[in-house]
Structure 1
Amino acid sequence: MITIAVALSIILLLVTLYLLFRIQILASIFKGSYRRDVGKSNKVNAVLLLVFFFVMGGLFIWSFMDAKEDMILPNASVHGIDIDQMFWLTMAVIGIVFVITHILLFVYSYKYQHQDGKRAYFYPHNNKIEIIWTVIPAVVMALLVFSGWKTWAKITSPAPQDAVVVEIMGKQFNWLTRYPGADNKLGVVKHTLITAENEFGIDLTDQNSADDFPGEPSAFHVPKGTPVLLKIRSRDVIHSVFLPHFRVKMDAVPGMPTSFWFIPTKTTAEMQTETGNPDFQYELACTEVCGRGHFAMKTILVVDEPEEYKKWVEAQSKKTFATTLQGGGSDSAAVAVNSEAGAASLATKQ
């Protein structure tokens, strides 16, 4: 009841204020001062609009220049150059339009303020003006769309044959990674084989699975200057792979594998030097809300020099899925030996 009473009181107050405002207008009309008051009010509002334009315009320019370096993160991939060029081109186009339209908005508001004896000119139609303001935006938009399509087609083209393959699988709420062995082919996976131990659902009867090995639990590695093909999938709900420094973003969809390839241009150590942050790490984050733990669903990507990456592969490839899942029996030992030889071959290839 108290809530209803308060709500009714507020409504009554608003109605009262509105009626008082209407009474004041009617009184000024009867006194003959209404038009004079309107003229003064418009003059004040016109001046205030100009003040607002210059003050807020100055703040807008200052905030843009101050935040310019932080709008996008440092780029660390080859195709990221094209993405950044598209970003700044789009910013330039919409920035120019924004500035021009707002200058006209505020200047016209001041210039065409209320004046006694002056009436608005009725100007209902002009084919030439309508063609201009329709064709120009259409052409600019078409050019931007074509530029974006061309860049996207280039980015999503088939990966080079010698690309380093890394499978990334998302699940609530972490990322798992898998690397192929010397054959550079990932083994078959089946959702019916997924267990607490076999999180990927790897089919060990497939010979291509024999030398597959996992990335580190909290990080995965790729080499600098080499094409990297990410094979992306999800085990439960929709996730999204986002590597902002590499301008990589691709959804991980259950039952629909996706992929994205890129060429890293800066190692983790080089980016630490560039940013002046010795603790810097490339982060892979999930950018699709996937549940309560979404905020913490991330992992680290380490970009190594080619020689360092070879050493990492040689060490990590000894821990094959076959060895781990089969419990280290005689067959597993044979697989492990083959995997070590294959890893050396793969490292040499990289």
Structure 2
Amino acid sequence: MTLLIVALAIVFIVLTVLVISKTQTLLKGVKGETEQNDDVVDSANNMNGFGLFIFWILSVIGFVWSFLYAKKDFLMAFGDIPTASSVHGKETDFWFWFGMAVITVAFLIVNSVLFYFPLKYRYDKNRKAHFYPHNNTLEVVWTLIPAIVMAGLVFTGLRVWNKVMSDAPKDAEIIEIMGKQFGWQVRYGGVDNGKLGNHSFKLIDDAAGNEFGVDFTDENSFDDFTNSSEMHIPKGKPVLLKIRARDVLHSVFIPHMRVKMDAVPGMPTKFWFVADKSTADMKAELGNPDFKYEIACTEVCGRSHFAMKLILVVDEPADYEKWKKEQKSLLASKPEFLDKVPANLKAKALKYLPSEAPSDSTTASASTSLPTVTSLR
């Protein structure tokens, strides 16, 4: 690829020097500094015409070669490269390549004519130029056709965009992913109702282990659990990612799923999709037992931005539910958070603690609160 670029650059420089040289000779003739010679003029025009057309042929060859050379690295369905691993990804890929095909055909036609005309209509002393000021039919044709094609591309793209960015289905699995320098944190709604508890930036306390700022006054928080090493999602079920950032701008990018959405401090964003290939499916399809889906940050967020990655595991639905049940809630991992639970909810919170007895202070706090709850009822 590098050698081709160098060769084209050399050809371009040589042609430029020749054009400048011949132009200077012609200008001298026009100014009367030298005697005008039709043979010199013909020679210069022939050289320019053939040179430009040869340059275009070489450019097309280089364009085709570079595409064939690089296609092995495309995240598209070419040869051994698999199709997208999400339902919407396949549709967006199709319309991307459809648009690229339309643009490429238009590019080749227009530029082929552009480079052919200097050769076709180069100076000929025996030919008279035809004065052709205007043609309404031609104007309508070359305005109407591009307008129709572009409108078609815009409206089909808008239809797909509206579908991709629509509200997630009600049965979607809700997962929160939070970016911070320089890693991803993931929070799940637990196995009871799948709802995420409230959070507040005022409650963030890394030293205590509450990196998400989970609000334990909300009973939906009691079964929430977190993970900072990998994200699990179910195959074939809608997944709604609730996205936020703790410090600077980040961006959630799952290339195989065609998922990309910025994580903006103070402005929660979201993206939903359906993964239709599990990690095991991709390993079998690629013949690569070491394959892993990856979540990367695609917004430069600091000096360690390059290392901000997270493993994504797509499980079969049954395996995903089994994995969720094996996870320990944040409250179970940090029993001391029970102190932040309101007195009237401590009884509900206790069932998420480990089976062994909690600390004396926690037990006392919970036991003294229970009679109060009973009397209020």
Post-superposition offset of 1:50: 2.6
Asked if 1:67 is matched to 2:70, the reply is: yes
1:26, CA displacement in angstroms? 3.1
1:5-33 per-residue CA deviation (whole Å, 9 max, x = no partner) reads xxxxxxxxxxxxx99x9589538954424
Q: CA offset at residue 134 of structure 1? A: 1.6
Select which of 184, 188, 195 maps to 2:194.
Answer: 184
| Distance verdict in 2 for CA 1:27–1:134, change over 3 Å | closer
In structure 2, the residue corresponding to 1:327 is in which secondary structure? helix
Map Cα deviations across residues 192-229 of structure 1 (whole Å, 9 max, x no partner). Answer: 111212111111111111110012x2211011111111
Contact 1:211–1:336 (Cα < 8 Å) also in 2: no
Match of 1:52 in 2: 55
Over 3 Å counting, the alpha-carbon distance change for 1:296 and 1:174 in structure 2 is: same
Please say if 1:212 is aligned against 2:219.
no
Match for residue 236 of structure 2 among 225, 230, 249: 225
Question: Structure 1's 339 and 80: CA in aligned 2 closer, same or farther, altered over 3 A?
Answer: farther
Instruction: Flag the 1:339–1:178 CA change in 2: closer, same or farther, 3 A.
Output: farther
| AA in 1 matched with 2:88 | H
Q: Distance in 2 between matches of 1:230 and 1:242?
A: 12
Q: Does 1:26 align with 2:25?
A: no
Q: Is 2:204 aligned against 1:194?
A: yes
Contact 2:179 2:244 in 1 (8 A): yes
What aligned pairs does 1:87-236 form with structure 2 within 5 A after superposition? 87-118=96-127, 120-181=129-190, 182-196=192-206, 197-215=209-227, 217-236=228-247
Deviation string, structure 1 residues 22-45 (Cα, Å, up to 9, x no partner): 589538954424543232122122
CA contact (8 A) 2:219 2:349 kept: no
In the alignment, the residues of structure 2 paired with residue 177 and residue 270 of structure 1 have an alpha-carbon distance, to the nearest angstrom, of: 24
Deviation of the 1:108 alpha carbon: 1.1
Judge conservation of contact 2:335–2:353 (CA < 8 Å) in 1.
Answer: no
Partners of 2:112 and 2:267 in 1: how far apart?
49
Contact 1:78/1:264, CA 8 A, preserved across alignment: yes
Stretches of structure 1 lacking an aligned partner (at least 5 in a row): 1-17, 342-350
Paired residues of 1:221 and 1:303 also in contact (CA < 8 A)? yes
SS in 1 for 2:87: coil
Instruction: Quickly say closer, same or farther: Cα 1:149–1:198, change in 2 above 3 A.
Output: same
Residue 260 (str. 1) matches residue 260 (str. 2): no
C-alpha contact (below 8 Å) 1:166/1:231 kept by paired residues: yes
> How much is the aligned-residue C-alpha RMSD, in angstroms?
2.8
Separation in structure 2 between the aligned mates of residue 120 and residue 204 of structure 1, nearest angstrom: 85
Contact 1:25 1:34 in 2 (8 A): no
- Report what 2:312 is aligned to: 301
Give the structure, 1 or 2, with the largest relative contact order (CA under 8 Å, sep 6 or more): 1
Deviation at 1:260, TM superposition (A): 1.0
TM-score normalised over the length of structure 1: 0.83
User: What CA deviation, in whole Å up to 9, does each residue of 1:264-308 have, x standing for no partner?
Assistant: 111112112222322211111111122222222111111111222
- Residue segments in structure 2 that go unaligned for 5+ positions in a row: 1-19, 77-81, 356-377
